Amino acid sequence: MTRLLLLDGHSLAYRAFFALPAENFSTATGQHTNAVYGFTSMLINVIRDERPTHVAVAFDRSRQTFRTEEYAEYKAGRAKTPDEFSGQVPLVQEVLDALRIAHAEVDGYEADDIIATWARQGREAGHEVLVCSGDRDALQLVDERVTVLYPRKGVSDLARMTPEAVEEKYGVRPERYSDLAALVGESADNLPGVPGVGPKTAAKWLGLYGDLGGVVDHADQIKGKAGQSFRDHLDQVLRNRRLNQLVSDVELPVGMAEAEWDSYDREKVHEVFDALEFRVLRDRLFEYLGADETEGTETGEAAELEVEALAPGGLADWLEAQGEELVGLELLVAMPESLAGRHRAEATGVALAGPGSVVWFDLAGRTPGDENALAGLLAEGAERVAVHDVKPAVHALREIGLRLDAVAHDTALAAYLVKPDQRSYDLGDLAIRHLHRELPSGEEQGGGDALFAADLVEGGETLGGAALQAAHRAQAVRDLAPVLAELVEQAGGTRLLHDVELPLAAHLVRMEAAGIAVDRDRLDELESDFADQVAAAQADAHAAIEDDSVNLGSPKQLQQVLFERLGMPKTKKTKTGWTTDADALVWLRAQTGEGTPAEAFLEALLRHRDVTKLRSTVQGLQKAVDTDGRIHTTYQQTIAATGRLSSVDPNLQNIPIRTEAGRRIREVFVVGEGFEQLMSADYSQIEMRIMAHLSGDEGLIEAFRAGEDLHNFVGAQVFGVEPDAVTPEMRAKVKAMSYGLAYGLSAFGLSKQLGIGPEEAKGLMETYFERFGGVRDYLGEVVDRARADGYTETMLGRRRPLPDLGSSNRQRREMAERMALNAPIQGSAADVMKLAMLRVDDRLAADGLGSRVLLQVHDELVVDVAPGEAETVRELVTHEMSTAVELDLPLEVSVGLGRSWHDAAH
């Protein structure tokens, strides 16, 4: 039997909004997504469970319908739509479009009327009909062919309302439900019922007299107060009945033919789910609904792959048979137990995919001939080898004495340049998207030690699950490489990939392997000191309220102290109560009188949070110290859409530099054994210099050329005073605005940052633009150009697609505009830093110097300086960084030397 699934989009999205806390669901652009997530999750589950052949979703277009024309108070009691919900319905519709699910909305009618019309059409076409709605009016549609799936709790627990279920719950058959509702009323629709008449009484009357018409005909015979109340409110009851009766003959733009559903747009799903940051939900979608039969395999399961397990000594012959063709490579590695030693993961096996076959080779049994053959392939890597995420492969091969200095293709880096805003570049996701192929997971293969009789290879051996999984991945990498190379070319990123990102990966491997030395004793002392400060702040907080039982890390207990015991003004409401986040505490401190217990408590609480965070940073560093006494961070190239590198495990880019505590942490990073000093070299105001160059503003360019204090110069221009008359307050304002403009800061954001009124901030910005018209013109042009092109571009051609520039959703459009403003500037700064790293590292090697680059932190390089090389390396680093790109103004580099990272500050 064919099955038609109908859903009330507004009703279900609204329920999802209240079922999931808004504060836990938002994108990097600030768009709330809890309603979209809940609706989409419910939709996936229902489609999985019910397997409909036809699907359609109805939406309300507005609150103005034929019902409000008759009764202006219809639904008038409903609260204002929460701001966090606004804009989510169009996102739900984007999800539906990606899934190729029909949806409709019609002027003058509600979603229920559209569903009633579809339900009639479905009955007439012979479909079984399922209606998923949180509106009880839908119950009047129930019959032997129509079932309502009614959410009992949130959107996950659905009650199956058949004719029998409706009668059991309400005492009437479904066709009489609208009569019952007319008598009882419906508060959600602001339809008042008959006073004193509840569902049981109404059901009793309908049972006695057949229907509402029969009840009306026998109104004089109904005894007691209920009967009199009914007669007094008869007109109201009849009006209720007219209004709650669903219309089943609405002229619709979508019929049964359009509602037929059997596939979805895989690429569109990726695009929409990437924008919404729904990676887990996307995995569920592909798992539950399978692959698109028009684009991939019939079941969406992993395609069968014939894999040969090479015997020791067989690797050279196999590689020779591949000729000069591209080879996909995937390693199996033995991971160390300690996080600190992760860069010493050792390659234990290798899967190789050539043009005609895929092989697995156990590296433990390699012969000298095998090792030579593999070393030859790796030496030709820049022409022949394709991998997914080259850095871990280089580390793992180095541990067994093999070098992979460069590769022809890195599918992770290529995918990043094509779509820099994705949250993940997992090979399985890319295979689904571009090859329409599912890769087997470790769970599907039963884990790395499992053997499968179905996976027979030559000689009657069997291949383990992890090895087979690696073989599938090697084949996917080889197949993906040319596909992604073409997409990179279309995105204008081929030169960026081969001249910057791929060479940079090799440099980052050397930096990760080198690490940076730490003074372990000083690190331990610092942790102990911060622990004491945490305890002191906690004691002060407890003393302020005379209660040492309060857990300062418990939001629930803090709510009780702040808003009940201390009676402080309420902050933003969340699902778990009034928020106690950092911004809220700072705001509360500003509302608190001097010398009060509340002030003392908040001061101690804020100090406690600050020191706890610092202590946590230090504890993370302690765990990361390797056996060689050094910390080896991991650099990620595919995280920031602007092109900036990020540092993890531990994150060395989030150590504060301008606070005393941050300086103390930097003191624990010291020059390594065998080296003389640490060198810190960083760009001065690189983003402002790039903004001056890109905008061509002569005023800013002249300031940089003259070597003046930029913010004093700008302050003098904006405030109309001499440079030496610029006050610290003036300087702070123009500095915040100058950097804010580079980050797409609005007048409202500037007012909030500076603590001034919006009008003053707007006036400040207007005066700035009067003095620096080139900046104003550039910022306007860059958004217009991005809107026309669909993307922004850096000086080196790094593109960032911004489809939301054309969005009808104001919040998403404005966020995209801010990204369009800052992406070229931040992205160009990131590209310049990467070029500088390559130039410095290459020169150190070319000149035969022993010094080495250890860290890249934002616009700063940290170098271990070998004995006797300080002045040579200073000149080298300064020259290579300052000439990394040609600008209309100088790139200024500051250099410092010292025993520790802090001592090298300048």
**What tens digit of pLDDT does each residue of 634-665 get?**
999 999 999 999 999 999 988 877 788 888 99
pLDDT higher than threshold 60 for residue 465: yes
* Interval 150-171 mean pLDDT: 87
Phi, psi of 126 (to 5 degrees): 85, 15
* Interval 831-860 mean pLDDT: 96
Domain extent listing, the chain: 3-163+247-266, 304-515, 519-631, 687-827
Question: Are residues 879 and 887 in contact, defined by beta-carbon separation less than 8 angstroms?
Answer: no
Question: Which residues are CB-neighbours of 636 under 8 A, at least 6 positions away?
Answer: 645, 646, 647, 648
Q: Determine the residue type at 470.
A: A
Q: Provide the pLDDT confidence category of residue 814 given band limits of 50, 70 and 90.
A: confident
CA distance linking residue 825 with residue 477, whole number of Å: 33
The pLDDT of residue 613 is 92
Q: Which of 82, 10, 581, 41 shows the shortest CA–CA distance to 276?
A: 41
The pLDDT of residue 18 is 87
Pick the CATH number of 519-631 from 3.30.565.10, 1.20.1060.10, 1.10.10.10, 3.40.50.10490: 1.20.1060.10
| DSSP bridge pairs for 862 | 680, 855
Q: Provide the pLDDT confidence category of residue 303 given band limits of 50, 70 and 90.
A: low
pLDDT higher than threshold 80 for residue 277: yes
Tell me if the domain spanning 3-163+247-266 has CATH number 3.30.450.40: no
Compute the Cα dihedral for 626, 630, 631, 636 and give only its sign.
negative
CA distance linking residue 741 with residue 776, whole number of Å: 9
CA distance linking residue 240 with residue 345, whole number of Å: 72
Question: Are residues 719 and 771 in contact, defined by beta-carbon separation less than 8 angstroms?
Answer: no
pLDDT higher than threshold 60 for residue 535: yes
CA distance linking residue 887 with residue 878, whole number of Å: 16
Cα angle for residues 673, 893, 774 (degrees, 5° grid): 150
Residues listed for the chain: 906
CA distance linking residue 446 with residue 466, whole number of Å: 9
Tell me if the domain spanning 304-515 has CATH number 3.30.420.10: yes
CA distance linking residue 771 with residue 717, whole number of Å: 6
% of the chain surpassing 70 pLDDT: 94
Segment 712-753, tens digit of pLDDT = 888 888 888 888 888 988 888 888 878 877 667 777 888 877
The pLDDT of residue 898 is 97
pLDDT higher than threshold 80 for residue 365: yes
* Interval 693-722 mean pLDDT: 86
State how far Cα 373 lies from the chain centre.
42
Question: Are residues 894 and 885 in contact, defined by beta-carbon separation less than 8 angstroms?
Answer: no
DSSP 655-720: S-SSSHHHHHHHTTEEPPTT--EEEEEEESSHHHHHHHHHHT-HHHHHHHHTT--HHHHHHHHHHT
Phi, psi of 129 (to 5 degrees): -115, 130
Burial 219-236 (b: 16+ CB within 10 A, else e): eeebeeebbebbeebeeb
Q: Which of 497, 799, 513 shows the shortest CA–CA distance to 635?
A: 513
Question: Are residues 826 and 642 in contact, defined by beta-carbon separation less than 8 angstroms?
Answer: yes
Mean pLDDT of the chain: 88
Strand duo 852-857 + 860-865: pairing: antiparallel
The pLDDT of residue 781 is 93
DSSP 462-478: EEEHHHHHHHHHHHHHH
User: What 3-state DSSP class applies to 526?
Assistant: helix
Q: Provide the pLDDT confidence category of residue 604 given band limits of 50, 70 and 90.
A: very high
* Interval 811-824 mean pLDDT: 86
Answer whether the bond into residue 82 is a cis peptide, omega within 30°.
no
Q: Specify the CATH architecture of the domain 687-827.
A: Orthogonal Bundle (1.10)
Choose between 790 and 290: higher pLDDT.
790
Of all helices (H) and strands (E), which one includes residue 119? helix 111-124
Question: Are residues 336 and 324 in contact, defined by beta-carbon separation less than 8 angstroms?
Answer: no
Q: Which of 259, 244, 247, 251 shows the shortest CA–CA distance to 57?
A: 259
The pLDDT of residue 463 is 61
CA distance linking residue 894 with residue 500, whole number of Å: 24
pLDDT higher than threshold 90 for residue 275: no
The pLDDT of residue 533 is 96
Q: Which of 596-605, 704-713, 731-740 has the highest mean pLDDT?
A: 596-605
Segment 118-137, tens digit of pLDDT = 999 999 999 999 999 988 99
% of the chain surpassing 90 pLDDT: 61
The pLDDT of residue 870 is 97
CA distance linking residue 804 with residue 901, whole number of Å: 42
- Name the pTM for this structure: 0.78
Question: Are residues 602 and 588 in contact, defined by beta-carbon separation less than 8 angstroms?
Answer: yes
